Structure 1
Amino acid sequence: MPATTHPRQSARRSVKPATWWAKAWQRAVEEAAYDQGDLIAGRRLARAGRVGGIILDAGSYVAAVEDPGGLFSVAGTVPVLDDRSLDALVEAVAATPGRIAALLAGDLPHDLVEHAEELGAELLPYGGELGSVCTCDHWADPCPHALAVCTQVGWLLDTDPLVLFALRGLPRDDLLGRLHTLSLTATAADGPDADDATELDDLDVALEAALRAHRLLREWE
């Protein structure tokens, strides 16, 4: 997928996330921090708006961070889901038509994440999965600069949970395309019963509505 650049985020008073999935990301960042001092320093940099635009790709994010000591470059990593797990994640999204609309509206249903986990797709990372490299000479990894970038990635997740999907290897357009393909394949299958046919019709209607909304949003942007 092509990398996506998210504009520099303004300074804010608090790093406290609003959504449950951004809070889960924040817990992972806290787990990854070597000590509380580094975590506090990283949050201070994030709150001060010292992190530049974040370039996000499957399994990675890159940003520059400025502090009194200079300008440093941070590269962070998150494991990408394998093909089998990605298929399971798409299956979980498709299982309930309302989940598609919820994701596009900026919501991440808790039962979707639980369903995906049951199918073998871990969407939310834990601390040990968050890797980072920085051009500074700090003795611990992650350094405060990396923790600042991780914190602001959490802000992006707070606004749009599909950022998490993209980090895991399933960007928005790929998700919508795979859902559309899944709907067509299932509809063409031989002999679906009445209940299956109704569910497929519901999924197709929801997907078409989501695709129309997505196209309108892109035109507006």
Structure 2
Amino acid sequence: MNGTTHPRLPARRGGGTGTWWSKAVLRAVEEAAFGEKELRAGRALARAGAVGAITVTEGGAVAAVTEGQDAFTVEVTVPVLAEDDAAAFTELVASESGRIGALLAGQLPHALVESVEEAGVELLPYGGELGSACTCEAWLDPCPHALAVLTQLAWLIQADPFVLTHLRGLSRERVLRDLHQLRQPAGEPTVAAGSGGDSDATDDVDDLVVAEDAAVRAARLLRLESPFDSW
């Protein structure tokens, strides 16, 4: 199972507008919360920078959360897409020019999500899908520590929608690999990752996509020097 570790986010003040897709994820977090008190406590921990580095994998994420002198380990879960749904998502990304470029640039086109939903695929989560476990003694699920992690996941998703697809079982590398396979002429052999060929799964992408990926990564790095000032 491939995991991507995102560095600890700095403390920040206040709120902000966010993007439409990060708002949707935050609404799901609100739906999952037991009550307003726990939600406020989770948001306070997230804003205070109490959440450590978050490791995102297919179907979940794990992070440490500090509160006072104590530290707790939080695991959150999100259902992964079925194989048919994952294939449908990739085909819909490939169906219109500009969609993969938008994703690589840190955007989640509303038209893409609408098309995905019309195909019966749930990309954006709802509250009942968000599971969690924490080493604290709170009986609530999710506890404030888990809500803090979920809140910061929404912030990460704001900057990079591939965090959302990764949680749904489609890592950035898999999406690019599957898109490349869709574009290959029928009958042309594909070099599998780890097969001893000249390229691995990440390199198994069209040269144009690779170049675009490098450019937008550089642009996003500059933008993410102060990633959540607008929140």
TM-score range, shorter chain: 0.7 to 0.9
Q: For the aligned residues, what is the CA RMSD?
A: 2.2
Q: Does structure 1 residue 137 correspond to structure 2 residue 137? A: yes
- Hey, what does 1:192 align to over in structure 2? none
- Hey, what does 1:31 align to over in structure 2? 31
> How many residues of Structure 1 are paired with residues of Structure 2 in the alignment?
204
> Structure 1 residues 213, 114: CA separation in 2 closer, same or farther (over 3 Å shift)?
same
Q: Distance in 1 between matches of 2:150 and 2:17?
A: 13
- Hey, what does 2:90 align to over in structure 1? 90
TM-score (norm. length: structure 1):
0.86
- Hey, what does 1:73 align to over in structure 2? 73
Per-residue deviation, 1:68: 2.0
1:46-95: per-residue Cα shift (whole Å, max 9, x none)?
00000000011000100000112511010000000010000010011011
Q: Judge conservation of contact 2:99–2:109 (CA < 8 Å) in 1.
A: yes
TM-score (norm. length: structure 2):
0.82
- Hey, what does 1:126 align to over in structure 2? 126
Question: What residue identity is the alignment partner of 2:74?
Answer: V
Q: Distance in 2 between matches of 1:16 and 1:66?
A: 24
- Hey, what does 2:113 align to over in structure 1? 113
SS of the aligned residue for 2:74 comes to strand
Per-residue deviation, 1:209: 2.3
> Structure 1 residues 28, 7: CA separation in 2 closer, same or farther (over 3 Å shift)?
same
- Hey, what does 1:212 align to over in structure 2? 211
Per-residue deviation, 1:120: 2.2
Q: Does structure 1 residue 22 correspond to structure 2 residue 27? A: no
Q: Distance in 2 between matches of 1:81 and 1:21?
A: 18
Greater helix percent: which structure? 1
Per-residue deviation, 1:118: 1.4
- Hey, what does 1:64 align to over in structure 2? 64
Q: Distance in 1 between matches of 2:215 and 2:99?
A: 19
Question: What residue identity is the alignment partner of 1:66?
Answer: T
Q: Judge conservation of contact 1:17–1:154 (CA < 8 Å) in 2.
A: no
Structure 1 unmatched runs, 5+: 189-205
SS of the aligned residue for 1:132 comes to strand
- Hey, what does 2:50 align to over in structure 1? 50
Per-residue deviation, 1:16: 3.8
Q: Does structure 1 residue 177 correspond to structure 2 residue 177? A: yes
Question: What residue identity is the alignment partner of 2:81?
Answer: L
